[in-house]
Every structure is written in C-alpha cells, then in structure tokens.
Amino acid sequence: MAIDFYAYSGAKKLTQKYSQRIRQIVFFLFWIVPALLITALILFAIFNRTIDPANVIVYFHYISGTFILFYVPKLVFIIFNLFDDLIHLGRTLYKKSKRTREQDTTQGELISRKLFLTRTGIVIAGLPFISIAYGIKWGKFNYTTRNFTLRFSNLPASFDGLRIVQISDFHIGSFLNSIDEVEVAVELINEQNADLLLFTGDIVNNLSSEMDKFIPILNKLKASIGKFSILGNHDYGDYVPWNSMQEKRQNFDRLINLQEDIGFNMLINHSQKISLNGEEIELVGVENWGLPPFPQYGDLSKALSNTTEESFKILMSHDPTHWDEEVLDKTNIDLTLSGHTHGAQFGIEIPGWRWSPVNMRYKRWGGLYTEGKQSLYVNTGIGFIGFPGRVGMPPEIAVIELNKA
C-alpha cells in the first residue's frame, strides 16, 4: 500500500491542472486495481481449499499476473517521483538557508522542471507495462527452437549426427486454460525430428492430476530411438499440504506411471545404454539434486554404477548446480542437460549477449557452458509458474546435434 500511496502522489501532480471530473476518473482507475487485488487475495485465502487442487495455480496466476503487471511499472514511476521530491526538497532547503524569495517567473520554471521528471516517469513506466502485458498474453506461448552442434572426439561413429531434442519444465498444470497451446508445442517438438527426446524434469507444478487432460496430446510426442524423462523438484509434491505421507507417495507413483504411459522411460538414479550398429552411448538420469533449499534426492554414484568407464555419457539432471558440485572434473560425463531456472521467465537477449536476473542466483542459468571436455546445456524451460508470462525469455525447445570431432 505504501507503493500505491506514493505512486498516487505522483499521479496527482500530473492531473493537478485538469478538471475535477478527470481527477475523479484517475482516482477511480488508480485505486480499483489495489482494491481488486486485496479482495482477490482475501477470497483466495478463504476459498482456496474448495478449489480443485490442480487449478489452484491457475487462480494464483490471475493474482500474480495482475500484481506484476501493475506494480513493476509503479516501482519505475516512483523512482522518478522520488527524484522529483528530492530535488524539490533540496531547492526548498536551499531557499530557506539563503532566506530569499524567488520571483513568480522562477517559481513557474521550477514547477515545469518538476513536472518534466514526473511525466518522464509515467512514460518510461509504460514500457514495462507493455512488455509484461505482452509476456502474459503472447510471450509465454512464443515457442522458440535453439539449434546447435556439439563435437566430441570420443563419440562413437554410429552416433555422428545424433539429433537430441531437449525440453524441460513443462509445468503442465499452468496450461489448464490453454490446452490448445500444448498441442502447438507438441507439434513443434515433433517437427524437430528427434532421435532422442529428453525431458529434464518438472512436468507438473505439484500434482499428477494436472496431467490428466493432456495425456492424449502428450502421447503424440515422437522420437525415433526413444523418449526419456527425469524428475524435477516440483514433481515430488513437496510444495502442497498432504493429508498423509501415503497420499503424497500415491501422487508421486501415479506421476511416474503417467509419464511411462505416454511413452517416457523414467531414469530415476539409473542409466540406459543406447545402441546403434553395435556401438553404444550411455544415458544417465538422476533424481532432483540442488543446493538448499532444494532437495538432494539424486544419487549420481548409483546412476553411474552400471556404466562403463570408457563410454560416451549424457547426464540428465534437473538442477544445473549439480554440474559444478558433483559432475565437473569429478566424473567423465561428457554432456549434461539441465533446466530448472526458467531464465526467471524474464531477460534480455541480443546477438552475442543474453542476460536474466536469475544469474544472481545461478552461475549457469541458460545456454551452453563448456569446461575442458565437459559441457552443460541449461534449458530455460517450455512452461511457466509463479508469473503467468515470459518477457524476453521465450519458451524453449533445444535441438542438439552430436558430431564426432
């Protein structure tokens, strides 16, 4: 509310010369959003347990989306309003110290300068408003394919040209009001002609029931050699209250069964040999392993226990922090595929440079990282959660071609 009152003080500056009718309209339009948000939060708190648990996140997204849409621009605006007030305060204190009075013409000039800052603030605040509105309406469905080639000297010749399509962080429950968009995503994934389709975790937000409406669509996912999946931190149901541990376990088991029903081989601290023309590579998958507060269910030693020392290895591990902590320079895993970060669903990308605020939390948050002979690719995800949009960080389908160096 402090943000609202201070932002409104700036809005009053802009309307002080307008008619009372216009000022009343501005007052109504300004305060209707905070009033609706407070009402929505109260109703959500009262009735959220009566909503189908799979739909709770959808209702939450209405609230979070509205909050971010209006309050990020307000924060931008009040920065300019603050500068306005500080300049005005400084000039006032200076006048008092000199015990002088300025002429009317000078006063008019000072007011003009003050309004210039406030007007600049309202214009610049419009930029994040438009960007966020676009991200909520269209940006979260602006599916993007990222194509690149990786070369490895120890890749068996039979796998030269192997086409891997990696997707991550579907958060399928967030699409309950946008089922057609999942169909679009699946069609685009299939157009990439994957040899291996690898999903690196967080297929749901929390509940296996989120998948129910999407089974016929997800069944259409194709790969010529195979489809493989691992678990992400959201797949365990750790973020919702359960009546019992048995209920939680049943949800977890059902989630695994549903993924197997749509054709995914689940790699749960396990490895799988992929054979072509008498040659093999090994695909390794671990449960979620992240730095606190995220769980460390993954057991890399167990997953590697049936692999051979000299084989070419691809690791699927949801959280990219796992690479630095247990993979890099500690194993002979050639390529690791991760997700988890979403790129904060916000960023800026220009040729040769990509930035997201999530880099303050994750050293390796999106794209390709190579150290020596080992590589990590962090997929910024195809879905969304928390904020129902994507701004400058489009949903991603990674297409990785392996070549023999």
According to CATH, the topology of domain 144-404 is Purple Acid Phosphatase; chain A, domain 2 (3.60.21)
This prediction's pTM: 0.91
In this structure, are residues 149 and 377 in contact, taking their beta carbons and an 8 Å threshold?
A: no
In this structure, are residues 14 and 122 in contact, taking their beta carbons and an 8 Å threshold?
A: yes
Q: Exposure string (b/e) for 231-268, b if CB count within 10 Å is 16 or more?
A: bbbbbbbbeeeeeeeeebeebbebbbebbeebbbebbb
Residue appearing with tokens 């690196």: 200
In this structure, are residues 238 and 205 in contact, taking their beta carbons and an 8 Å threshold?
A: no
- CATH 3.60.21.10 location in the chain: 144-404
Q: pLDDT tens, position by position, for the chain (405 residues)?
A: 789 999 998 888 888 888 999 989 999 999 999 999 999 999 998 988 888 888 899 999 999 999 999 999 999 999 988 888 888 788 777 777 765 544 444 444 444 445 678 889 899 999 999 999 999 999 999 999 999 999 999 999 999 999 999 999 999 999 999 999 999 999 999 999 999 999 999 999 999 999 999 999 999 999 999 999 999 999 999 999 999 999 999 999 999 999 999 999 999 999 999 999 999 999 999 999 999 999 999 999 999 999 999 999 999 999 999 999 999 999 999 999 999 999 999 999 988 899 999 999 999 999 999 999 999 999 999 999 999 999 999 999 999 999 999
